[in-house]
Amino acid sequence: MIEKWLQYTQRYEGLNVMPYKCPAGHWTIGYGHNLENGISKEAAQFILLQDVNAAQKAVRQQFEGWCQLGEVRQFVLVDMCFNMGIGKLAAFKKMWAALKRGDYTATSYEMLDSRWAGQVGRRARELAEMMRTGEYL
């Protein structure tokens, strides 16, 4: 029964993957979901998973040495990408050069020598330490 309800609603609402204003003037996304009502924790978790997967894919494509990095250093790069986007992360030229050399201390330094580090503070310091040591905090 619920499947028929979903099909009917999908047919008439239509899918919009970008936010838009509905005829009543409410910000809406998906199949007519009113964003003013927020989203569920489950929906937020699902979106986070999708976004982290997209960030991981982007970093893998950006850095050919991805497979040689340990899990923690991979996590650091994915989290940075999630936070700022691959375009801004790709602009960390000195960081990438140090990473390619396997110089994790210099990589860590270059992470902290950025406007991003000033903006995110503690997060940057923790990620830089994880990059340097290869261990989760």
User: CA–CA separation, 134 vs 4, rounded Å?
Assistant: 51
Total number of domains in the chain: 2
Supply the pTM of this predicted model: 0.89
User: CA–CA separation, 51 vs 33, rounded Å?
Assistant: 19
**26 and 67, same domain (yes or no):** no
**71 and 27, same domain (yes or no):** no
Query: pLDDT per residue over 73-130, tens digit each?
Result: 999 999 999 999 999 999 999 999 999 999 999 999 999 999 999 999 999 999 999 9
Task: Determine if residue 30 is left, alpha or beta; phi over 0 gives left, psi from -120 to 50 gives alpha, anything else beta.
Answer: left
The residue-averaged pLDDT of 38-46 equals 96
Beta 27-30 vs 16-21: how paired, if at all?
Answer: antiparallel
Range of the domain at 97: 41-133
